Structure 1
Amino acid sequence: MTDSAEYRAANDAVRSHFFKRVWQLTTPYWRSEEKGMAWLLLIVVIVLSLVGVGLNVWLNSWYRDFYNALQNKDLKSFIHLMLMFCGIAAVFILTAVYRLYLTQMLTIRWRRWLTERHFAAWLGDKNYYRLEQRGHTDNPDQRLSEDLNSFTDTTLTLGLGLIRNLVSLVSFSVILWGVSGSIELFGITIAGYMFWAALLYAAVGSWLTHLIARRLIGLNNRQQRYEADLRFGLVRVRENAESIALYNGEANENERLMTRFRNVWGNFWELMKVQKRLTFFSSGYAQVATVFPFIVAAPRYFSGQIQLGELMQINSAFGNVQDGLSWFIDAYASLANWRATCDRLLSFRSAMAETTHESANIDVRKTGGDLQLQHLSLCLSDGRELLEPSSLTVKTGEHLLIGGPSGGGKSTLLRAMSGLWRFGSGVVQMPDARCLFVPQKPYLPIGTLAQALSYPEQAGQYSAEHLAEVLRLCRLETLIPRLDDADHWQRVLSPGEQQRLAVARALLYAPSWLFLDEATSALDEADEAALYQVLLEQLPGVTLVSIGHRASLKRFHPRQLRLEERRLRETEAVLPA
């Protein structure tokens, strides 16, 4: 097999695989619990589209009679035809309005269904976290919002447009074949020659369009990614405004944003060049198509074989046939956008599927009453070892403090216990009880303070009195009047206040096991000790597993370990006073 043949075979395989995956993305909705309404809306929209085609066919005959009436100066027929036109126009308007309305209804219902499934897949099994850790995809927010919207809208628009064009093509091809007559060329009589002229004209145009604009798919894909990168950079500046301002980092951020914008700029220029060439061709193609049927039909008209009405009917039928055959030309830019959208969605879904089905080397189980590590080893994604195979048992009520140098793997150890970290080997047996992990930088959702405090539970889970009480215990009395205020609390509260709020959240959640990853590092030792005292008093049955560097924490944890040099070592306990 030659290189070119191998290349064509490889491209055919890619296209076949692409359409198979798009089919798998498209069809589930039409077999889902909403299939009844979905198919009903689709059928009604198709019927309305066919009614529109039928009206165009009717108008084709109307044009013949109308122009004949004008040529013959037949006033009675003229008035009758104008009244007929008013009725056709009214039906056409109603059909167009409800076809658009019902298409939009079907689009938003399909988008809602797809969004629900993709949200569930993205948030399920911690996929959102693992995708970020592994760097599988860029800008998942774009894929879950813009791409799903574009996919449903463009798929229905292109699909319905193709059906409408096919029906119109068949209908007007029959008309054009009947009215175009025959012509003798080089001694050969060609029947229905206007139809063959339209077919040849559209085929040459489609071929040239593909040659001119085939780069649009890749360019549109990159443009969407660059635009999303720029938006993400702008959001990062907003999220970290105070830190950037304190560093006087405006010049640095400006250069970073401009670097991303230069990608947008450069790729857009390439898009402009391709679209300019495509517009030159498509505009010229459309202009020539306006007069082409008159030129081809002129010999029969001037020889007296047909009247003005037949000439105008031929022109209308030729235009509709040529439009149907030129659907690929008119829809090429939309097809390129659709292909780019599908590529992004399919790559995102593939990444989620790989993350979901990838084997976890660390076996995390939830059973029994104690925490046990059995021959647990940890490493980074590049294979660098953080912890040699180690075993450990923490009994219920046995408060444990894990120390060690920064970057030694302490937080990674907690991630392995929670089931987030998969790089390593061994078994983690988590207690079959209510557990809560509190990170160093707590997450505070945008919304009311009550919602941020109640997270991960809903705000209505706790009474206002209970919320106010835990705020008092954590020395956040000033926030009690703001429980119903909505704000971006990670910007409003200081790091220390955020950590106090996270401890208050733990008091509400009331876990049996509480894992704290330097969760009080932004507080001074006195405040830290006060919060630990509150935890032990308010949650008498809790077991604490803490990561921290301060010696003052030791008195709250009768058992202490250090993770250093890739080993877990017991250290001398400091008993509480």
Structure 2
Amino acid sequence: MNSPPTQKRAVWQLIKPFWVSEEKWRAWSMLITIVALSLGLVYISVQINQWNQVFYDALQNKNYPVFKAQLWRFTYLALIFIVLAVYKIYLTQGLQMHWRRWMTEKFMDKWLAHQAYYHTEQQQIVDNPDQRIAEDLNVLTQYSLSLSLGLLSSLVTLFSFVTILWHVSGPMTFMISGHTITVPGYMLWFALLYAGLGSLLIWWVGKPLVRLGFNQERYEANFRFGLIRIRENNDAIALYHGEPREAQQLSGRFDTLRANWWSIMRITRRLNIASNFYSQFAIVFPLLVAAPRYFSGAIQMGGMMQIASAFGEVQGALSWFIDAFSDLATWKACVNRLAGFNAAVDQVHHQQRGIQLRPESAQPLILDNLSLQLPDGQNLLDASSMTLKRGDRVLVVGPSGCGKSTLLRAIAGIWPYGSGTIGLDTASRALFLPQRSYIPIGTLREALSYPHLAADYSDEQLLKVLENCRLKHLQRWLDTGANWSHRLSPGEQQRLAFARAILTRPDILFLDEATSALDDETEQLMYCLLVDELPQVTLVSVAHRNSVAKYHQSCWRFSRPEENEPARMALSPLPVAG
């Protein structure tokens, strides 16, 4: 297993790929344009700073022609500033969406590859992956751009106004113990001291926000997941009259969310007190410091206003950390969550498989010394070997919890826990029908055709298979969109799965309790339909009812010698005893 990346490396692994990808030319051209617009905004700010001196000197000297000319100058400077600011925001939003789209596609592909979505849930190594892909990627791209561009703008502003502030503020002379001390460009040193003390104060007050923000995202996602679970299982909850228990669980999750939010509020309140005091006092602070030179006649009002403006720009640039602290805390929490998600998916991709898969051509399925385990290492099945020939129909039986369904997952390649080898004919088309069939949201045509495209089958094929599977009453809803997993009963869903199998016409078909919700008559009909429509299919069925034994030729029986010991699998003749 790879060692976890450091914080800096984790951030770099998240941010770098987009900027060296196939999108790099468009991304860099947009970014360079945005940077150019940001530099243009700083240039206009420098011009407005110089305008301050001329304008306020004209006011003090009551020079109307200069006053009028400066109004016109401010007008075109303001218009240019507005155009630059508008297009900077517009292009930044566009670049953010390009970046987010690219990262979303990559994260979704990575999450879906090698069934990582399945294994991360099985191993409980990452919470709420949907929220991390949907929301955290949005926060990462938005805040990475806004914070980095804000930092760049602050640095350029700082370097642009440092020289101005140095020259316009002039020296400050004072006496200490009979010694005359002169500080050149004294306003610059006041700005550095003011911003430095403010940054230290804000960091000390707000540092818990990173941890609290991380937790808040998780608690919000957990609460939302609880609400979604009620929607997904509304029928069962209603039958159990489980509303009080669900309300209790939701209230518990919300109480956790609320307690963490109150902690955020308390920290944010202290942070706002410090930052608002800092920003409000910064308005009058340069005027107080420059006032002695103004009243002594060393500078005019225009000079004083230029000093105040330059001080504000330098102080604002130096205060980037203070102004962006809340966004930095949110960004850092988001980076931590995405880095954890990335590491968890990488762990799944690089984990060593205990059960080895190999391509097979002589037989459709060979189990060679196969043993099964749970993710925590508990043994389910002792080493067993079996061979399935083409056209064989095998019934898998045994007590509940002995590993029958896990065996099918291992054959499907999604259960790596155990040892031994599974040989599966890669040239043959395999189809697995679980007990609870997955039905995507969409039209009934799309649900029936899944996992293939609806266009792969004609109306005649779909209507015929619905009729054969006792779903004729659904024919008129073929092009109706709905959440069919809620509209169809469990029995209808299982018949829909059989209809998929007949449409797909696999070479190897695995049924995992696929008729558990059907009555005996309908169960017999479904198996008869399979035998008639797919006479050459190799069939493996997991079932508890003996009524389906007659549709199979042999039996793989799971048995446990003792309680809490791993099961053993053996070939036995049919019919199966109860």
Query: Given that residues 52 and 305 in structure 2 are in contact (C-alpha distance below 8 angstroms), is that contact kept between their aligned partners in structure 1?
Result: yes
Query: Given that residues 393 and 552 in structure 2 are in contact (C-alpha distance below 8 angstroms), is that contact kept between their aligned partners in structure 1?
Result: yes
Which one of 71, 74, 83 corresponds to residue 82 of structure 1? 71
CA distance in structure 2 between the aligned counterparts of 1:78 and 1:299, rounded to whole angstroms: 26
Shift in Å at residue 362 of structure 1? 0.2
Question: Is 1:68 paired with 2:61?
Answer: no
Partner of 1:343: 336
Tell me which moved more, 383-392 or 250-259.
383-392
Query: Given that residues 209 and 267 in structure 2 are in contact (C-alpha distance below 8 angstroms), is that contact kept between their aligned partners in structure 1?
Result: yes
TM value normalised by structure 2: 0.96
Alignment RMSD: 1.3
Shift in Å at residue 16 of structure 1? 9.3
SS in 2 for 1:425: strand
Which one of 336, 342, 361 corresponds to residue 354 of structure 2? 361
CA distance in structure 2 between the aligned counterparts of 1:370 and 1:539, rounded to whole angstroms: 16
Count of matched residue positions in the alignment of Structure 1 and Structure 2: 562
Partner of 2:448: 453
Per-residue deviation, residues 487-511 of structure 1 (Å, max 9, x unmatched): 0001000000000000001111110
Tell me which moved more, 356-365 or 70-79.
70-79
Question: Is 1:519 paired with 2:514?
Answer: yes
What amino acid sits opposite 1:372 in the alignment?
I
Which one of 309, 321, 331 corresponds to residue 328 of structure 1? 321
Per-residue deviation, residues 237-289 of structure 1 (Å, max 9, x unmatched): 11111111111111100000000001110000000010000000001011110
Tell me which moved more, 184-193 or 338-347.
184-193
Shift in Å at residue 574 of structure 1? 3.3
Partner of 1:389: 383
CA distance in structure 1 between the aligned counterparts of 2:114 and 2:376, rounded to whole angstroms: 23
Partner of 1:216: 209
Q: Residues 93-492 of structure 1 correspond to what in structure 2 (within 5 A)?
A: 93-185=82-174, 187-368=180-361, 369-432=363-426, 433-492=428-487
CA distance in structure 1 between the aligned counterparts of 2:195 and 2:400, rounded to whole angstroms: 69
Shift in Å at residue 187 of structure 1? 2.1
CA distance in structure 1 between the aligned counterparts of 2:529 and 2:397, rounded to whole angstroms: 22
Q: Residues 492-511 of structure 1 correspond to what in structure 2 (within 5 A)?
A: 492-511=487-506
Query: Given that residues 396 and 543 in structure 2 are in contact (C-alpha distance below 8 angstroms), is that contact kept between their aligned partners in structure 1?
Result: yes
Shift in Å at residue 560 of structure 1? 1.1
Partner of 2:523: 528
What amino acid sits opposite 2:574 in the alignment?
A
SS in 2 for 1:523: coil
Partner of 2:563: none
Shift in Å at residue 367 of structure 1? 1.6
Q: 1:321 to 1:421 in 2, by over 3 A?
A: same
CA distance in structure 2 between the aligned counterparts of 1:183 and 1:86, rounded to whole angstroms: 35
Shift in Å at residue 464 of structure 1? 1.6
SS in 1 for 2:6: helix
Partner of 2:533: 538
Query: Given that residues 364 and 508 in structure 2 are in contact (C-alpha distance below 8 angstroms), is that contact kept between their aligned partners in structure 1?
Result: no
Q: Which runs of 4+ in 1 moved over 6 A?
A: none
Shift in Å at residue 383 of structure 1? 2.1
CA distance in structure 2 between the aligned counterparts of 1:394 and 1:16, rounded to whole angstroms: 45
SS in 1 for 2:420: strand
Question: Is 1:551 paired with 2:554?
Answer: no
Per-residue deviation, residues 498-542 of structure 1 (Å, max 9, x unmatched): 000000011111100000001011001111111111111111221
CA distance in structure 2 between the aligned counterparts of 1:505 and 1:319, rounded to whole angstroms: 70
Which one of 539, 555, 560 corresponds to residue 555 of structure 2? 560
Tell me which moved more, 390-399 or 454-463.
454-463
Partner of 2:564: none
What amino acid sits opposite 2:524 in the alignment?
A
TM value normalised by structure 1: 0.96
Q: 1:383 to 1:245 in 2, by over 3 A?
A: same
SS in 1 for 2:515: coil
Shift in Å at residue 15 of structure 1? 13
For structure 1, list consecutive stretches of 5 or more residues without a partner in the other structure: 1-13
CA distance in structure 1 between the aligned counterparts of 2:16 and 2:401, rounded to whole angstroms: 48
CA distance in structure 1 between the aligned counterparts of 2:391 and 2:509, rounded to whole angstroms: 11
Per-residue deviation, residues 361-387 of structure 1 (Å, max 9, x unmatched): 101123213311000011112222111
What amino acid sits opposite 1:473 in the alignment?
N
What amino acid sits opposite 2:192 in the alignment?
L
What amino acid sits opposite 1:268 in the alignment?
W
CA distance in structure 1 between the aligned counterparts of 2:493 and 2:172, rounded to whole angstroms: 85
Per-residue deviation, residues 19-46 of structure 1 (Å, max 9, x unmatched): 1221121111111111110000000000
For structure 2, list consecutive stretches of 5 or more residues without a partner in the other structure: 561-566
Tell me which moved more, 216-225 or 17-26.
17-26
Shift in Å at residue 570 of structure 1? 2.5
Tell me which moved more, 78-87 or 198-207.
78-87
What amino acid sits opposite 2:80 in the alignment?
V
Query: Given that residues 4 and 343 in structure 2 are in contact (C-alpha distance below 8 angstroms), is that contact kept between their aligned partners in structure 1?
Result: no
What amino acid sits opposite 1:253 in the alignment?
E
SS in 2 for 1:187: strand
What amino acid sits opposite 1:122 in the alignment?
W
